[in-house]
Amino acid sequence: MAGTPHLQIKDLTVAIEDKQILKGLNLEIKGGEVHAIMGPNGTGKSTLASAIMGHPKYKVTGGSVTLNEEDVLEMEVDERA
């Protein structure tokens, strides 16, 4: 359906100070769906959110994040919000 939001994360890897935190994360969320990301402390939930939002401490070392087929990782921080 045209115009329906679609977030896709493929093989995302993220590091903090040379320590890899996320290793090949895949996630797809289509418009109208509700997802909850849950898990114990230290499993990468906050790292995922911070990396998507462009926090400078978190370095995306591989993979892609697209929203409606636009590369989120190439957007400025204010555009991502």
Question: What's the whole-model pTM score?
Answer: 0.88
Q: How many CA atoms lie within 13 A of 74 on its CB side?
A: 6
Strand partners, 70: 67
CATH number for the domain whose boundaries are 6-80: 3.40.50.300
Cβ atoms 81, 55 nearer than 8 A: no
Domain range list for the chain: 6-80
The rounded average pLDDT for each run of 10 residues, N- to C-terminus, in the chain (81 residues) is 83 95 96 94 95 96 96 94 82
Task: Report the pLDDT value the prediction gives residue 2, as an integer from 0 to 100.
Answer: 57
Distances in Å between the Cα of 57 and the Cα atoms of 51, 52, 60 are 8, 12, 10
Pairing mode, strands 59-67 and 70-71: antiparallel
